[in-house]
Structure 1
């Protein structure tokens, strides 16, 4: 922006140039005035001389004013200026992601900081405890999973062994039943044979008894010798013994039948027991399924505990608050011992790169374009002129971005010239020596060269 001092100096230069341009004219006018004075002095010497000087002064003033007006019109037609401009920069609010008590504040107001520099430390005790609890929970979940896995293996092996054993017992029971049935058939076949032997023994005994009775009568009559009677007696005794033996054989055969029946019943009982063992083995397989479900649940608990541990470790890492951007510290409100909440502002980091936001009237934007050269004057440094270029023009007026934008269709309408923000980037070369002195919010005057 051209200040009053600059305008005054320009006027002096324009006046000087005008004097040089008008010097020949003035000299000619002076010669004419002198000749006119010589001719008129004879008539009215005292009255003509002051009028000549007045006319010369008016002529000179008109020429100077014309030159000055032309120069001002030429300058104004090639420049647009406004004093509604401000220095703007990135301001990053620093806050904590967790609640806690401040133990260390490692920066002070207006201090320059770098990206990643530690700014604030919080008390880690509570978050250390949460990490330890999460670790213990994770270890417990792992032990539960290991136990469930062991139960799966044990149940699987037990089920396999029981199934094999039960299947073997079933096979043995079937074989025992078949064997007992064979013995039963053999025993049942032996009973009629034994009974036939009894009948044969009864017949032999009856015949032997008849012979003995006849020989006994003959012996008493003296018809035979005692030797023949003894032989008949022996045959009778043999027949009697054979009958007893046949009766015992029948009893033994019947006993074998009963024993075979018991063997069949025992084998059937073993078969039933083996079927129960097989069902029990199948039930053990269901227990394996249950144990596998417990193992899967334990695995889910491990995943949940691991996520909880990671979250606790992440929360613990938030006790250190770092600078996310380089810049200078401002508006520091945090102190040691403060109890802060999540998201509460602690301080601000203002970046060192600044730009200008100039709010031009909408009637000034006709010839303002991106890339045009800009002169910037800051109120804080009136003797310094900074340079920059037009970076971009706002897509809407300031009123449209306000909390309650105007709606001209709702009632009375009064036309108001709107202000449109224009972003102006500063030339780094022109900022040398002032980088640390310029701050966001400074007032500025800008002049855009639009030719």
Structure 2
């Protein structure tokens, strides 16, 4: 027999397949082995990666319920007037003390002028009352001087009267005795009258002093009215109380605004993160711990911060409608506590972060 007669295998094509299209057994087994190997490598990689992730993640507490936060000052008018000028544009950064809004000041300028005129009038009345006190005091001094003169006259009259009464009636005439007696009694009466005049003059002094006190009170009231009018006039110019960004503007030039009407918001420059951690996560979190901050708006950069403080109560405790757990059926829900995280990164100034932006903080607890 030749070699063709001894070879009983079915003929195969150039790629090793039989005419029936079935692959040889050896390549199939090789692919199966390769599949098991690849699957094993992937499984080991997953296990190793998961272990590494768990070992690293256990050192952090994180939450996706966190946002950029900032203080917002709602600016409102303090007087009723017409807006004459806006000194800013939308979303402009302004400095503390910068003029932002001007309003028509004419009504308030007129009130200030009137209050100042009343103050001048009150001050003049005070000076007049003070001068009247001096006049009345002079009358008192004059009345006291008259009393002294009258006392001297009375002393002379008493001496003459006693002298005429002591000598022999035959040595003097009856007319001289009557004259000395009348002069003596007249001096007594005049002295009593002058003393009464002193009392009246002193009463006039007290009345004038009371008028001075009333005039002083009127001056203070007029000064207070002038200061109030001055303040009202100053309110026609609205300045920035702090540095920040002007936003949410609701006023236009020419609008008539009323006291308390909101005009715009001023977002202050300071920024921090408010992270609402679950109460079960707080056991390991302490103020001063380092925090890695991933911000959606700048996802390519991880900023650094530190835990600053905890709110003294859960978020639900300060909600508009707090839960009434003492009524009906109770279902326990894990509460969240706002945690303040401050930035500790000089790169913060390179980004424009606005309140409300989403943040994912990772607090290193170990």
Compute the TM-score of the two structures, normalised by the length of structure 1: 0.66
For the 8 Å contact 1:377–1:385, the answer to whether it is kept is yes
Question: CA deviation digits over 1:380-403, x for unaligned, max 9?
Answer: 333443333333333322112212
For the 8 Å contact 1:181–1:264, the answer to whether it is kept is no
**Deviation of 1:176 (Å):** 4.0
Q: Tell me which residue corresponds to 1:71.
A: 52
Match of 1:360 among 267, 273, 277: 277
For residues 125 and 384 of structure 1, do their structure 2 counterparts lie closer, same or farther at Cα, with a shift above 3 Å needed? Answer: same
Which deviates the most, 175-184 or 64-73? 175-184
Quick check: 1:404 aligned with 2:314?
A: no
Q: Tell me which residue corresponds to 1:96.
A: 77
**Deviation of 1:170 (Å):** 4.7
Question: CA deviation digits over 1:107-135, x for unaligned, max 9?
Answer: 12111100111111233233333333333
Q: Tell me which residue corresponds to 1:293.
A: 210
Match of 1:280 among 197, 200, 203: 197
Q: Tell me which residue corresponds to 2:299.
A: 382
For residues 317 and 259 of structure 1, do their structure 2 counterparts lie closer, same or farther at Cα, with a shift above 3 Å needed? Answer: same
Quick check: 1:316 aligned with 2:244?
A: no
For residues 272 and 449 of structure 1, do their structure 2 counterparts lie closer, same or farther at Cα, with a shift above 3 Å needed? Answer: closer
For residues 427 and 304 of structure 1, do their structure 2 counterparts lie closer, same or farther at Cα, with a shift above 3 Å needed? Answer: same
Quick check: 1:114 aligned with 2:29?
A: no
For the 8 Å contact 1:163–1:282, the answer to whether it is kept is no
Q: Secondary structure at the match of 1:162?
A: helix
User: How far apart in 1 are the matches of 2:205 and 2:52?
Assistant: 102
Quick check: 1:62 aligned with 2:43?
A: yes
User: How far apart in 2 are the matches of 1:306 and 1:171?
Assistant: 52
Quick check: 1:257 aligned with 2:238?
A: no
For the 8 Å contact 1:138–1:302, the answer to whether it is kept is yes
Larger C-alpha radius of gyration, 1 or 2? 1
Q: Secondary structure at the match of 1:171?
A: helix
**Deviation of 1:88 (Å):** 0.9
Quick check: 1:446 aligned with 2:365?
A: no
- Note the 1:315-334 alignment, pairs <5 A: 315-334=232-251
Question: CA deviation digits over 1:41-71, x for unaligned, max 9?
Answer: xxx8688656544544443343333323323
For the 8 Å contact 2:66–2:275, the answer to whether it is kept is yes
User: How far apart in 2 are the matches of 1:100 and 1:160?
Assistant: 59
**Deviation of 1:138 (Å):** 2.7
Quick check: 1:80 aligned with 2:56?
A: no
Q: Tell me which residue corresponds to 2:6.
A: none
Quick check: 1:425 aligned with 2:362?
A: no
Question: CA deviation digits over 1:124-174, x for unaligned, max 9?
Answer: 233333333333333223322222222222222223223322442353255
Q: Which runs of 5+ in 2 are unaligned?
A: 1-24
For residues 162 and 396 of structure 1, do their structure 2 counterparts lie closer, same or farther at Cα, with a shift above 3 Å needed? Answer: closer
**Deviation of 1:81 (Å):** 3.2
User: How far apart in 2 are the matches of 1:412 and 1:184?
Assistant: 118
Match of 1:152 among 111, 133, 137: 133
User: How far apart in 2 are the matches of 1:57 and 1:360?
Assistant: 41
For residues 186 and 81 of structure 1, do their structure 2 counterparts lie closer, same or farther at Cα, with a shift above 3 Å needed? Answer: closer
More helix by share: 1
Q: Secondary structure at the match of 1:335?
A: coil
**Deviation of 1:438 (Å):** 1.9
Quick check: 1:129 aligned with 2:110?
A: yes
Q: Tell me which residue corresponds to 1:35.
A: none
Which deviates the most, 109-118 or 85-94? 85-94
**Number of aligned pairs?**
342
Q: Which runs of 5+ in 1 are unaligned?
A: 1-43, 191-252
Question: CA deviation digits over 1:187-207, x for unaligned, max 9?
Answer: 9416xxxxxxxxxxxxxxxxx
Match of 1:189 among 163, 170, 174: 170
Please provide the CA RMSD for this pair.
3.1
Question: CA deviation digits over 1:220-273, x for unaligned, max 9?
Answer: xxxxxxxxxxxxxxxxxxxxxxxxxxxxxxxxx9xx424643553355345424
Compute the TM-score of the two structures, normalised by the length of structure 2: 0.79
User: How far apart in 1 are the matches of 2:158 and 2:33?
Assistant: 162
User: How far apart in 1 are the matches of 2:103 and 2:67?
Assistant: 37
For the 8 Å contact 2:303–2:345, the answer to whether it is kept is no
